[in-house]
Amino acid sequence: MIDTRLDLYPASTVPNGWPGLICRYADYLPVTDQTPIVTLHEGNTPLIPAIALSEKLGRNIKVLLKYDGLNPTGSFKDRGMTMAISKAKESGSEAVICASTGNTSAAAAAYAKRGGLKAFVLIPDGKIALGKLSQALIYGAEVIAIDGNFDQALEIVREMSEKFPITLVNSVNPYRLEGQKTAAFELVEAIGDAPDWLCIPMGNAGNITAYWMGFSQYYASGKSAKLPRMMGFQAAGSAPLVTGQVFDKPETIATAIRIGNPANWAKALKVREESGGAFHSVTDVEILAAYKFLAGEEGVFCEPASAASVAGLLKISDQIPSGATIVCVLTGNGIKDPDTAIACAESKLHKGVAPDITSVAKVMGF
C-alpha cells in the first residue's frame, strides 16, 4: 500500500499541513506506490454548526453544514478529481474530457493543468454560471458549448472516451466516487460517529452514492457505530429521482443540479433503499429562501444548488426525530454564481454618494 509520509511527495512541502485526500486516506483508496498523486490539497473542509437553523427547528435538533465550497476550486468536485486525474495520469492518459453544468469543468481543468494533462469540457450553452465558466477558461481548458442540455453533453463525452484516446472524468468514472467518499470519512472523524441524517442535493447523483460508500466503509471498519439515513433533494423542475421520470428539458435556478437523466440513477435508488432514506423535491422559491437564510442568518455563502439540502430539510422538518444530529452538505461556494447573489440580495447598493463624511454619514443614518 502507498506510503503516506509527506516527505515522499514534492507537493506536500509543509510537514505538518494537510496533505490532501489521497495521502490522508490512502489505506481506503485504490492507489499504490505507483500512483502519481495530483493534488491541490483538497478536503479537510469545515463542518460548521448551523446555530440559527438549529434554533429554528427546535426540539434539540443539531444541524451542521459540511461546507465543501472551501475546496480549492470551490466545490466538492475536487475530491473526486484528485483521484480521477491521478489515475488517468497513472494509466498514461494525456487528455481528459467531461460534460459539466459548471463545477466539474472547473475541477477537471484545474487538476488536469496540475497534472500536465489537456482538458476538454462540454457545457450546455447559456446554462452555466459565469463564475464556473471563468474558472474552466482561466485554467486552460478547451470549452465547447453545445446547443443542448447536460444530458446530451454527457452522452457525447461518453462516446468520445470510447472512440478516442481520452479519459472521461465525469462521475461515471469510478475513481471520482472513490475520492468523493472521503467527505463521509471527515464527518465521522469530526462528529465521532455518523450523523442521524445526511441531507444532500442531487443532480447526477454521484455524491450521494459516494457519501454512502464512505459511511459504509467506515462502519464496516468499526470507525462508526451507525449509518445515517440518506435524504436526497432535487429541484422541482429537475427531479427525475423523485418522480421516477426523465426530465427532457430540466429547468431550475440551481444550475449545478439541472440534470434530467442522472448517470448514477440506479446507484442512488440503491442508497435510498439501503439507508432507509428518502428523496424529495424543492421549488426554486424554497431553494432561494434557504440560500438567503444561510447567508443572512448563518454567514455561510453557498451556491443555490447547495441550498437545496437546507430547503429540503426545512420542508420535511416535521419528520426529523427530536435530538437528531443532521448534516446538510453544501456542495459549492456562492461566489460561483454572482448573478444570482446580486439578484437576490436585499441589501441596497448606494451609488453616487459624494466623497465626504457628511454624505456618507447621512446614507448610514447618522
β pairing state of 47-49 and 118-124: unpaired
- Name the amino acid, one letter, at 289: A
Q: Could you tell me which of 77, 10, 16, 84 has the C-alpha nearest to residue 45?
A: 77
DSSP label at residue 333: B
Residues 6+ apart with CB under 8 A from 108: 77, 81, 84, 85, 96, 98, 100, 119, 121, 136, 141, 169
Is 103 assigned a ligand-binding role in the annotation? yes
207 is in an annotated binding site: yes
Say how far apart CA 363 and CA 148 lie, in whole Å: 47
* Residue 43 in marked binding region: no
CA distances to 44, 169, 211, 213 from 32, rounded to whole Å, are 22, 20, 23, 20
Residue 283 counted as an annotated binding residue: no
Handedness of CA 318, 320, 321, 322 (dihedral sign): negative
Query: Do 80 and 88 form a contact (C-beta atoms < 8 A)?
Result: no
Which residues fall in the annotated binding site?
103, 203-207, 331
Which residues fall in the annotated binding site for pyridoxal 5'-phosphate?
103, 203-207, 331
